[in-house]
Amino acid sequence: MKSLLRLAAACACVSIAAHASAADLGAVNRINDQAFNHSQVLQTAAHLTDGIGGRLTNSPAMRKAEAWTQGKFREWGLAHVHTEGFEFGRGWWIENSRVRMTAPRPIELRAIPVAWTPATNGPLAAPVIVAPMSRERDFAEWRGKLAGKIVLVTWPGPPKDATEPAFKRQTGEELTQNSAYRQPAHDPDELDRYLENRGFAAKLDAFLKAEGALAWGRMSYREGGLVHGAGYLHQVGATAALPGVEIAAEDYRRLARLAKLGPVTLEIDSKVHFDDSDTRAYNVFAEIPGRDPKAGYVMAGAHLDSWVAADGATDNAAGSAVVMEAARILKTLGVKPKRTIRFALWSGEEQGLLGSAAYVDRHLARRPPHSDPAKRAWTLPVVTQSTYPVTPLPGFKDMAGYFNLDNGSGKIRGVYTEGNMAAAPVLKEWLAPYATLGATTVSARPTGGTDHVYMARLGLPAYQFIQDGLDYSSTTHHSNVDTYDHLRPEDLKQASAVMAWMLLQAADADAPLPSNVLPTEPVPADPFAYPDPSKR
């Protein structure tokens, strides 16, 4: 509590007006002229998607994207274009793959190799067995039954009725409801469950290998022929022994039904490759230097890496292209802001927000190693483990604002202040010129799942934008239709303008955005809660 009071006292003399920026409103129209009449955001997004395609962390395509984005930043005249590496693991890519049922009748299936599983080295044909396993205690039922088999490990649950529209924009009322404040409940078992979940893939692989199984298949979690292929065993020395594929729900359930009637044979030909030429992943940075070297910096960020079922368009070429476009716009306008504006394209986001975590660890704050050595050894940077005390690094005080974009191609409808209510009126005022383009809402709701999280958890002024959902959660997120087609050009242009303007405001404001308090201990759990037995 001490630090809370101290920080509160330190902030008491700064009024909302002090955050009003020196950037004049006329800049809005110059930004818009660039964003709407001279936009490059579609060309950028098209190159990342159509041109380069899916950008798995440390894959050859991601290396291309790292080089190409730096080249673009340089071409546009940005300063201090560079990368920062962090230890990640193996590169991996799919040359091609094919999964076929060969008995009782031949049919091609829609499927994708699970990331970082090994190749089959030519077609691998074997009978299937449906053996649903989602926890270690499920192994006993299948012991002794899997030798020589391709094991279908998902329970083939019934299909869902798609009774909601796939593509949605938020109404005013939905914006209000979706952004209502909720204090995040502290969940002392969160890390344990996360580690168990992540660790299960390795345990399942070891069990299947020990049982003499040849490969495994899982069912897609979406209907309609969509597949995804996420996998997490990317560390050096952690590679799975067996090839694994994700099979479209319709195709998987067909296999499972036929297996009720008689023998079913599957043939998997997974031509994938590992690339260990460099086990470090790289974040890309570029800057517009500030006038005042002591004023710190503001930052825009989006992750450049993606899954590889398609071209990583809405997740997250969209956000990357908007961040780059904001850089291009501000550079083209020749702004000379008080604070430096830094543009970050993160890597390793899809494997646990690893790029932004590495940035925190390197520039912002340290946390002590977890007291449990098993957790300490885990792949995630220590900064993610919510240990205490947090020790700010010298760069901590320089971070004057961070804006993240990572929820598809939908236009910006507002900002989440991540529990920072002091920042709300300031951000609301800054957003005002874009209210007519739909960016109206400032919500204090804490949100997760992307690269502002580890910064926000330190009390830093790190935010993500509220966006229209479009078909992101229903259809494109991680899927094999995450292509440029699912981007919406006018939305990307709007987002580029809003991003550029918010950065300029934050960079020129007299006072930096108010920080939240530095946390000193976990928020205590509900004193009357019983552990949920279903989560055990």
Which positions touch a copy of itself (CB under 8 A)? 46, 50-53, 95-96, 104-108, 159, 161-168, 223-226, 249-251, 253-254, 257-258, 261, 310-311, 470-471, 474-475, 480-481, 483-486
| Residue owning tokens 């989602």 | 134
Best CA proximity match to 302, nearest among 65, 532, 526, 60: 65
Best CA proximity match to 59, nearest among 137, 127, 115, 101: 115
Tokens linked to 224: 């309609």
Q: Which is nearer to a copy of itself, 98 or 198 (CB)?
A: 98
Tokens linked to 437: 């383009």
Closest contact distance (angstroms) between CB of 169 and a copy of itself is 8
Q: Is 336 exposed, middle or buried (0-12, 13-18, 19+ CB in 10 A)?
A: exposed
Closest contact distance (angstroms) between CB of 166 and a copy of itself is 4
Best CA proximity match to 348, nearest among 339, 366, 360: 360
Closest contact distance (angstroms) between CB of 257 and a copy of itself is 5
- Dihedral of CA 107/166/319/302: which sign? negative
| Residue owning tokens 């069912």 | 219
Give the CA count within 13 Å in the CB-facing half-sphere of 483.
8
Closest contact distance (angstroms) between CB of 502 and a copy of itself is 27
Distance spanning both ends of the chain, measured CA to CA: 32
Q: Which is nearer to a copy of itself, 259 or 517 (CB)?
A: 259
- Asked if 40 and 325 touch (Cβ cutoff 8 Å), the reply is yes
Closest contact distance (angstroms) between CB of 52 and a copy of itself is 8
- State phi, psi for 27 to the nearest 5 degrees: -60, -30
Q: Which is nearer to a copy of itself, 309 or 400 (CB)?
A: 309
Q: Which is nearer to a copy of itself, 53 or 244 (CB)?
A: 53
Q: Which is nearer to a copy of itself, 386 or 409 (CB)?
A: 409
Q: Which is nearer to a copy of itself, 263 or 449 (CB)?
A: 263
Closest contact distance (angstroms) between CB of 221 and a copy of itself is 14
Closest contact distance (angstroms) between CB of 165 and a copy of itself is 5
| Residue owning tokens 């008080």 | 338
CA-CA distances (angstroms) from residue 508 to 22, 297, 334, 500, 511?
Answer: 5, 10, 14, 12, 9
Tokens linked to 38: 């001279």
Q: Which is nearer to a copy of itself, 107 or 241 (CB)?
A: 107
Read off the DSSP letter of residue 125: E
Residue type, 385: Q
Closest contact distance (angstroms) between CB of 256 and a copy of itself is 10
Q: Which is nearer to a copy of itself, 168 or 375 (CB)?
A: 168
